[in-house]
Amino acid sequence: MAGVVHIVTRTDPGPGTRRIFASVADAGGEPRWASTSHTEIGPSDVVLSRIRGDEPDREELLAGFDALIDDAPISARIINPPHAVRIASSKQHQAGAYRAARIPVPRTIRISESTDLGGASYLALVAHARDAIAAGRCNVALITLAGRPRSEGSSGTVVRSRGTGVPEEPFELPYGPVTVNMYAMAAMRHMYQYGTTAEQLAWVKVAASHHAQHNPHAMLRDVYTVKDVLDSPMVADPLRRMDCCVVSDGGGAIIMARPEIAKSLKRPLVPVLGAAEAPKHTNGGKFDLTYTGAAWTGPRCFEEAGVKQKDIKYASIYDSFTITVVLQIEDLGFCEKGKGGAFVADGNLISGSGKFPWNTDGGGMCNNHPANRGGMTKIIEAVRQLRGEAHPAVQVKNCDIVLAHGTGGSLGTRHGAATVIMGRE
């Protein structure tokens, strides 16, 4: 199955969402970061780092869609038959319909989807769109994200109801589970079982800060030390404040197209080589906190892509908390189970000096975590690396194969996982 991914990314701070999204279209039809990929699919996206404004999520989404439609190289292919569009999104209620309302020729929309795997949704939807394009159901696909958790006061330290549709909710909610507690349980178990230390976890934040200093739109641009992390206030033992990701407003979009369409844009092609997704849940109480859904998606994705861990030049890996990174690196097969702490320590994740360059935009740890879902930004930075358009200080040399992975939900209860491997042509 082949496919081309076309990715357009732009990150800007600003007072209002509409202005930020519009900046993509205002670039004269030539976005600052652009890319294509080949599975006959291609992602394109717009990311917002620190948005302030009064518009609700729906308006952010519509503004972002307007900007993409106005973007000259792709607008005709999106709105004109026979280039059918697929609307894929998650988090926003009936978001597919909202997106469709912005297409001047709605009859070109053949399918829509709102799969919700939390932060992993946007990576999973890449595979869904690829398969739809390969099956001939559409020629161009759009995947979107938008949300304003920072403006709305969202926090990982308060109890969140997942809704009455979650069967376990009546049994869990009375105990007051909060996001950071669920991840702290996973961290504590990993420490107990494998001897992982707080110092090792701290290196994840340190690496992210080394990268974020070069990103003018990152929320946290200071370079931190292990001591800085360990001196930050305890939130949920053993996780401290600096073990947690930022909370930011933002959004993004990914456009995927058939190879012949992507090639006509005359931009570098980024093939999607492999993709996989999987859920993980409490399994009736037979639950191991030391592994994630990546233990299933990783092997399948590598098999489909026909590459090995040693072939990956750069990795975008979900970083909601420092322990999240350690567990996923192990489960994706980059080191033995239980050795993740040692693997991330001593600057091994820092681009240019470490052996495993990771999240070179600063990631969720320091750059942004739009809509409390970081999967979209993982694709963005991976494509920048493939195109050689990351900041020169963090650009990986000869970057030709990358991996992006995300989780959505909670490591302490249930979550979705999705992995994508992309190449360069």
Segment 371-400, tens digit of pLDDT: 777 888 899 899 889 989 899 999 999 999
Integer Cα distance of 91 and 61 in angstroms: 11
Looking at residue 18, its amino acid is: R
> Reduced to 3 states, what is the DSSP secondary structure of residue 138?
coil
Q: Return d(Cα 371, Cα 154) in angstroms, integer.
A: 9
For domain 4-152+248-264, which CATH number applies: 3.40.50.2000, 3.40.50.300, 3.30.1360.10, 3.40.47.10?
A: 3.40.47.10
Domain ranges of the chain: 4-152+248-264
- Cβ atoms within 10 Å of 114's Cβ, excluding its own: 17
Q: Distance between CA atoms of 151 and 403, rounded to whole angstroms?
A: 31
SS3 readout for 352-406: CCCCCCECCCCHHHHHCCECCCCHHHHHHHHHHHHHCCCCCCCCCCCCCEEEEEE
- Extended beta strands in 53-139, E state: 85-89, 109-113
Tokens of 377: 């930004």
What is the rounded average pLDDT of the residues 66-71?
46
Q: Residue range 271-277: average pLDDT? A: 93
- pLDDT of 273 above 80: yes
**Tokens at residue 13, please?**
């701070």
Residues 112-139 have pLDDT tens digits of 787 888 888 889 988 988 888 888 888 8
* Section 219-229 average pLDDT: 97
pLDDT in tens, 137-169: 888 887 777 777 777 777 767 777 666 677 777
Residue 105 has pLDDT above 60, yes or no: no
Rounded to two decimals, the pTM is: 0.82
pLDDT of residue 378: 92
In angstroms, the CA 316 to CA 419 distance is 10
What pLDDT, on the 0 to 100 scale, is given for residue 15? Answer: 28
| pLDDT at residue 321 tops 70 | yes
Question: Does the pLDDT of residue 18 top 60, yes or no?
Answer: no
Comparison of pLDDT for 321 and 31, the residue scoring more: 321
Least Cα distance to 122 among 22, 208, 5 occurs for 5
Write out the H or E segment, with its range, that includes residue 325: helix 322-331
% the chain with pLDDT above 70:
73
Report the amino acid identity of residue 239. Answer: L
How many other C-beta atoms can be found within 10 angstroms of the C-beta atom of residue 288?
12
CA atoms of 257 and 255, how far apart (whole Å)? 7
Q: Could you give the CA distance from residue 245 to residue 69 in angstroms, rounded to a whole number?
A: 32
Query: pLDDT digit string (tens) for 201-213?
Result: 999 999 999 999 9
* Out of 86-90, 92-96, 195-199, least confident range: 92-96
Q: How confident is the model at residue 37 (pLDDT cuts 50, 70, 90)?
A: very low
Among 127, 50, 21, 19, residue whose Cα is nearest residue 369: 50
For residue 329, pLDDT over 70 is answered with yes
On average, the pLDDT of the chain sits at 77
Cα distances from 129 to residues 1, 151, 189, 254, 402, in angstroms, run: 12, 31, 37, 10, 19
pLDDT at 61: 52
Mean pLDDT of 237-246: 96
| pLDDT of amino acid 319 | 96
| Mean pLDDT, residues 205-228 taken together | 96
